[in-house]
Each structure stands twice: as structure tokens, then as C-alpha cells.
A and B are shown apart, each in its own frame.
Chain A
């Protein structure tokens, strides 16, 4: 209790000072939020950049379902739904009285339009795979949508909660890239390209009017500039703060609140199994033993990450902790390498995209692998080159990358994916998971998938990416954890 009193006093002092230097807190109904990258467009059904979802998801656009702060799928435009016993037919009961921000009425025809457009031949939806299971969409009446799947798909409702699956209207969809029209509580105010996007209340929103009248998203790529903007009070919040090294400084500032949570980012050393010697399980396990995940976490993520042992994160409901599958053991690594036919190690090249987890992380990983005789040559690449060379043309041996899509275990069943992992056992297990209709069985199988990956170690799983959030101590409604990058302005408010 004694520890609380001084901090309460400090808060009171801070609360007394802050209104004096900035706008009066009781009158504030706007918020300014920092983000590192600018959304190129504002239509999440036409571009993959996470920044598009961060600005628009649940603010401008809504989906049939949505992801909540706990990572669960909950109702959105569909207020409830039922699933047939064979797991193939989903009947969605739609919210009534909902209107798009341009005045168009929302109904089942919009759902049908959005889903058919996303899975159509000319679709440029970045997550088209989410819609692949859909066989047909029917509208028995304006408030009911019946979606029939070709086969049961356990991940379907989760997929429909993704930003790429939001509902758009036939009349306005083509213009959504620059003039987004959705059913959410906010709409586009103005967009000064390269500087900020401002959202304002949507007067036609059918629900309760949100507390914030407007929200400004400012784009600040430079970590030092982001730190300065938070310290100077130019920003109220930074959801994915880019400078972990500045956290101690920000924590010392009583006007700010720092929350370290989890994202769905999985930092992995991707190995190209089509290249020698990475097709050899013994070599992959040797590398897994040679890498000290805790040391990586300390050196690269300032200790804010969580070591992982498979392709899932602690924030996911079905997460299984497998981080100790290959505990750091250099002697064991050398022994496995010798067993694999590489008693003196081997030479390899690792390509590194720009983020610090890869560039700084690459140095750390190379040093660790060097300890067991694996000589790593590091090659820096910018994203465009990485995507083209490593990701598309599979012209790489190893790389470090954070896979940010939530629940993306399906990529290990994709034979064309850039890591070239092929396992009949895994593919069968994945089919079984998708076909499961009972939630408990789905969860158990989800765990089995992770265990299978830990066993096969197709990639070296390093750490779950931390979500370093920084915001004004008086701001309410920010999320600590997030499976997808969001800023739900409708939930934000200023403390009285």
C-alpha cells in the first residue's frame, strides 16, 4: 500500500500538470495515435499492409465476426450464427438497422457481394485463401446470410474476423481504396498523405455514438522521432512502439503508460529445405540446440519477447508451450551435426530483411551457430528484394522473419510455400483439424499440429514478438495484447 501512495501522488501531480500544458483533459474528445508505416490504401480487402487494418478495422469497416481483446471470435455484423451438424452450413443472423456511411442500407446482399467478390476470379484480396472453402452464399432474407462450405473448415469463423474479410457495399467498393465506406462508428475525415489520416464519427452509425469525436493516426517511421513525439506529448498512443531500447525512459515518465503484451508475430529462422543440408532433420535439430533463445530475446528484444518452440504464440487460445523442446546445448548440437555427416560443420548464407529482429538478430544467431562450427554469411536485403528473391523464387538458404498472420499453420500444409516443408503426417493432421467440428477436438488437434512442427523443426522457432504499447496514462480502451494489429477507437475514452 505504501508503494501505491507515492505513485498515486505522482499520478495526481501529473494529472494536475498535464491539463495545464495541453488541452483541458475534460474537454478532450480526440486522440492521436502513432504508427510506423502509412497504409498505402484504406481498403483492407485490396492490400496486405497491416497498417490498413490498424486504421480501418472496426473503425470504418466491420466483418461478420470480429476478434476481441482476448483473441476470441465474437459477434459483429452477424449478431449470432448457427453451424449445421456436418460443419458445412453457416447461418448468420445479421444486425438490423445498420447503414453504410454513405447512407446505403446494409443487408445480406452486401455479405453475398463481399464474399463473392473476395473469392472471385478477378479478386485481388490479399487473403483469398480465407474464402476458398466457400461453395455458395445465399440470402433467404435481408437479415440472414447462409454460407455453404465445400468441406468443414474449423478456421472459417476466425477467418471471417480478419480485416481482409470486412463487408463492403456494391455501390462503393470500387472507391474504398481512397474513400472507404463502411458500417463502422467512424469514417474518413481527411488524409494528408505521408503525414496523417484523421477519422471522424460516422453520423449514420446505428450503434451508440463513441466517446472520441475524432482520431488522428500519424505516421512516424523513425524510432528516435517516435520516442521524441511520445515524450513531447505530441502523440497520445503508439500501439506498436518501434524502439524497445527507449522503454526504460518512457516508463520513467509518469504521464505515460507502457504495456508489454503479445502479438501473433512468430520470429523464426526460416530454412529452405530444398537446399542442402536443410532437408536433413538432424541438421535442423542441431541448429535448434545451438541457438539460445533466451539470449536472443535479451539481445534483440530487450527481453520483452517470449521464447517459442513451435509456430504459435502465447496469446492464442490453442497455444501449447513447446519452448523447451530443444534446450540450448552446444555439445548436443555438435554431436547431431557429426551424426548427420557434418563433424566440422558447414557454411551457409542467411539473408536478412530490414527489421532489427533480423538484422541485429542475424548477428546473434550467426555467432551462436559459429560456436558449433556452422559458418554463417549474412546478407542484408530490403523488403522488396527479400519478397522477390527469397519468398517468391525460393532463392535463399536461411532467413530470419516474423510471420505476423494469426493462426497461419496452414502454410506448413502448403507445398509451394517458401520453406519447402513437405510432411505427409502433417498434411493428414491438418486435414483432420479442418474437418473437426467439435471445438474441444479442434483445440486438441491444433495442439497436435504445433507438436508435430516442434518434432520436425522445419524452421527454428525463436520468439513471439512482443507488443510494446505506449500511451497516455489517462487514455482508456487500449489493448494490451492483439492477435491482429488494431486500434479500436470506438472503445477509447479519456479518464475523467
Chain B
């Protein structure tokens, strides 16, 4: 190892250590405008400036992170908002040409050590170029796969997508600058140069090219999706605003056109109903099984043997008549509730209108009985007005001619 190289190693390591030593301060500078200087000694500041970790644009302004350091941090954090994409192919190609020239020179003079050095630098340059493309492509994939999740608004996503697409175009332009015919001529018959600059480089670049095209395709697809979503949002908010402004808006009746638009031709629902059928022997067996599987209805146990009062058939008949009368009277009550006005309804008039065959007296009796049988609260919902007269001047017996039922308001 020569002296120059060892000095380089020492200084480089010292300066790299500066990054670790001031890591927190530098990160504060990354997130803010300036690097905070409180508590930083003059000596340390001078070292940071000398190492080009920091720089000062002019005497008045604060101390800032050097752009390369900022890039390095963004790269390490995969911070997609600040990651730069820059392949800088043209400059690398210039450098490659001059390195090849100087390599040739060294070889023709037989300077093996210099020849080795030039080859090493060439290898490093080619690796850097590769690395820059790989980084750029990685950054693009990251953004794509997160659906540009690092910005929240759709409009920002569209802008970020646009920016990414422009970066791809620049990267592709950069790739196009590399002319392999020229490189083949440049390397001539030298085996190691040929391997480095032709076969390896070509292989990697074609890989980058495919990746870039793929990312580009996916970005365009995603952009189309973003635009579609944006168009939808606009359409909906436009339509809502229009309909609010024009509450009476009615579109044409598209169903009456000779050609009904496809969207509006939605046929009426049809239910595919089916019922048990017994006309096939095989199926009737299945149905019988189903029937057996039905849960057995639970009837309350009836004690058949217990003694009950004897009921004559006439009694049963009378009970049925009584029940029918009661039902008819309930219907009368419901009819009163249903009628729109709250005017009293005459019980006898209802009897006549409904063509019921109950004798008037029995009917009135039941109407009154029903009223009195109602719970107190429900009774209050009705007014029962009895139309009555005295039996005679001297007899205070009241005769009821009719009753009128009304809903209490």
C-alpha cells in the first residue's frame, strides 16, 4: 500500500465518522431548513465544512446539509418524496472514454500498476452507473407499489405519478446515449475491457431497460386509474350540485324511446317459484320423508278424561252466535277508528249499511257491553253517546233508541 492510498483511507474514515458523531444534528438539518448550531464547537463545524458534509451558501445564511449528504439520507431512508433520480449517463460516458484512453496509454508504455488502477476506476464507474439505474428503478417501484401512499390527495398522486413518468423518460434517454457500436470500437481487441464494457454492461443495461419499460407501463395504468377516479369524483359532485340547484329536474323518459338505452333496460324481477308436487312416485317418497322430518308442532296437553259440564248442542250454537255478534261489534269499533273524520257513527245505521242480520236491540246491547268491557284507557279513546228518552212524563225509565260511537280527539 503506498502512502497516498493510506492517507486517503485515513481521511475518508475520519470524515465518515463525522456523520455518525453528528448524526442527530444532521438529521435535524435534513428535516428543517438549517442545521442547528447550538452546542457545536467551532472546530467541529470547521471539520464538517471541510468534509463538505455541511455548506454555507453565504455569510448571512445558516449552515445547510450538502446536497450529496441529503441524497444519501434520502436514499438510506427510502424517503420517496426526496429521493433523487439521476443517472447522469453522459458524464459517465465521457469519463469512461478518457479512462479507456489512459488505460491504453499505460498498457502501451508497459506501466502495469497504472493500467491496473485505470481498470479499477473503470470498473467502479461502470458499477456506479449500474447502481444509479438500479437505485432509480427501485425508487420507482417503491412509489408504484405504495400507490403513491406517501401523499394523501389524489391530485398530489397524479402529480407524483407524472413526475415519476418524466424521470423514466430521462432514464430511458440516458440509456439511449450508450451506443454499444461506439463502445465496441473503443475497446478494440482488449479482452478485459470487452468483458467489462460490452458483455457485462450490455447484459445489465438490457435488464434495466426491461424494468424501466415495465415500471412505465404500470405507472401509466395507475395514472389511468387515478384519472378515472378523479373523473368519477368530479362527475358525482357536479351532478349533486346540479340536482340541488334544480330540484325539479327530470331527465327524459328513455324507456319510451324506440331504442331503449342498454343501461335502462333492466327487466322486472321474476321469482322461480316451486311447490311440492305429488305426481311422481319417487318424489312423493322424498316428500313424505321431508314431512316426517318436520318438527312436531307442540300442542298444549289436553286432559280428555276430566269431567266437564255437559254441553247441549244448542248451547254450542248459542256460544257461536254470541261469538259472531261480538266479532261484528268489534268490526264496528274498527270501522269507527278507520273513518277519516271524527264524527260519531250511529250503531243502528252501521248495522243497516253492513247488511248484518242482528236484531237492533241485541246489537245495541252488545255495542254498549263492548264499550263497558274495554279497559279504562281504551275506553277513553271513544265517546259513546246514547240517544235516549224518558219512557213517559211520569216514568223516568230511559229508553235507548240508538248509540253513536266517535273517536275521542
Do A and B bind? no
